[in-house]
Amino acid sequence: MKTSSLIVLLFVCLVSSVCAGEFKIAVESDQLQLTPPTEIAGDQPLRLVELLPFEPDSAVATKPAIWEGGLETFPRSLPRFEGDRDRLYSRWTLSNGDAFTYGHPIAAIAAHQTAIPWPESPKGVQCVVDVDDVLGLGVKYVAQNVDIRPMFDFSKRSDLSWNVDGESFHFNPGAVAGLDNYVSRMTAAGVNVSLILLNYVPGRPDSANPLIHPDTNLEAAPNHLGAFNLSDERGYRHYRAVVEFLADRYTSGRKEQGTISGIIVGNELQAHWWWYNIGDANPDKVINEYARAVRVAYLACAKAHPELRVYVSLDQHWTARMTEERSKFIPGKELMEGFHARVRSRGDFPWHVAQHPYPQNLFNARTWNDEQATWSPDAPKITFRNLEVLADWLQLPEHLYDGKSRRVILSEQGFHCEEGEEGERVQAAAYAYAFYRTLQFPVIDAFILHRHVDHAHEGGLRLGLRANAAGTISSPGKTRLIYDLFKHADAADWETHFEFAKPIIGIQSWSELDPRPVEPSPAK
């Protein structure tokens, strides 16, 4: 294989009577190099089908094969491009009658090798209102929301464009300039930046917007956040265009644009009705649609940079439910197990986890008292009290990727400040507790606090390092006790600043918060 070209290996475990081996595909600059499983019998009739990224699995039964025959005529190479279309994103099936499997590329030699900062301290914050203020606090990680709709210039007047399979997609210079400014300032200060990819949708159908998934309930979606639309070619191409554009732009090494470390796909998928609306949908549908979006994002990122990560987004529910309506909510453990099985059956790749271990009660910062955060593998919730549960799940042998655990960033969580001085002390103590706990888990890279400044429209929650100024939505107001604590959390004298929190938490030594053994599962 050419070391200078884009190289992708596809490993597929074939099922049933096809074989029990691996089907390997190397994707070079202009060719697909195919190696069939060695276990295939020479006289076995085979059928090779290419499925496009937006086509359903069921299409394999009716779609024409690109090749049929015995092993002696199996194609050892195919053109990588069909016209302008890049087959990197295709998924492939090799079958004999009813037995078939799906597969995808899983790793790539990418266009850029820009250094990505991974600070040792996990200290982070999101929803930054004043960049200078958070840089003065010594922040090391940030996460930034990116709504994909305003990124596009559907009038196609902009000179800022990206090509997907021969089609040009134009981007909004103003939206891009704003993101350039933010990412570049953070990068210059050595801060690690993750982007959170979101799809805000209107309240009514809009045929001119290809980003809307046809099953999103536009009128009822509580937060007007929809699933990414990969149900048709137009939606798929727009989604791929924006991810490729962002991944390439923010790993190219240009100082005026800056560098990102990863992309979080969507938000809190357990509560998909609220944060990734795809209508009333059963768990299999949600998992399958989401897995498709994460895989395309991974391939787009892998084309740009070998270390650029894609993250699955989870809230604090593990086996507990927000609602008993299965068409609106999936417990985290069920979601993760289904997602992992889906991805692995179609060719595994290195996805990671962005989890939100909010306290059990968002209005009670005393997360060390979270009764639902047990150390059982079937804990109802995962908060800072029992981060062991997620770490242990990821480190189970069957969940590893290439022998290693997938990485974790805690990308959104905060602590409510009740009124008065005692409220500030409890909020700050909760941060001290959470920060110490985070440091005990090598698998966790970042603890990104939500949020920099209180937001007036956040349901009464006061989560900020600062209060919002009177009469404003989120303009910076007075600092709280947590502000100074945050500044010194990763300093050499951190224990001096954390000392006040011990009696509030109910400990005499910080070592009492070191990881605990997992409780055995109750007898079934």
pTM: 0.93
The domain 123-513 is placed in CATH, from the list 3.20.20.80, 3.65.10.10, 3.40.47.10, 3.10.20.30, at 3.20.20.80
118/465 Cα distance (integer angstroms): 23
Q: How does 186-212 read in b/e, with b if 16+ C-beta sit within 10 Å? A: bbebebbbbbbbbbebeeeeeeebbbb
Q: Omega of the bond prior to 185 within 30 degrees of 0, cis?
A: no
Residue 378: both structure tokens together? 């079937």
Would you call 20 exposed, middle or buried from its count of C-beta atoms within 10 A (0-12, 13-18, 19+)? exposed
201/210 Cα distance (integer angstroms): 11
Contact between 95 and 50 under an 8 Å Cβ cutoff? The reply is: no
Would you call 328 exposed, middle or buried from its count of C-beta atoms within 10 A (0-12, 13-18, 19+)? buried
406/384 Cα distance (integer angstroms): 19
Contact between 56 and 49 under an 8 Å Cβ cutoff? The reply is: no
Strand intervals (E) in 305-440: 309-314, 351-355, 408-413
Would you call 492 exposed, middle or buried from its count of C-beta atoms within 10 A (0-12, 13-18, 19+)? exposed
Positions of CATH 3.20.20.80 in the chain: 123-513
The tens place of each residue's pLDDT in the chain, 524 residues long, gives 333 333 333 434 333 334 445 677 777 778 888 877 776 766 778 889 999 999 998 898 899 999 999 888 989 899 989 999 999 899 888 887 544 444 444 445 578 999 999 999 999 999 999 999 999 999 999 999 999 999 999 999 999 999 999 999 999 999 999 999 999 999 999 999 999 999 999 999 999 999 999 999 999 999 999 999 999 999 999 999 999 999 999 999 999 999 999 999 999 999 999 999 999 999 999 999 999 999 999 999 999 999 999 999 999 999 999 999 999 999 999 999 999 999 988 888 899 999 999 999 999 999 999 999 999 999 999 999 999 999 999 999 999 998 999 999 999 999 999 999 999 999 999 999 999 999 999 999 999 999 999 999 999 999 999 999 999 999 999 999 999 999 999 999 999 999 999 999 999 999 999 997 555 444 43
Residue 87: both structure tokens together? 């087959």
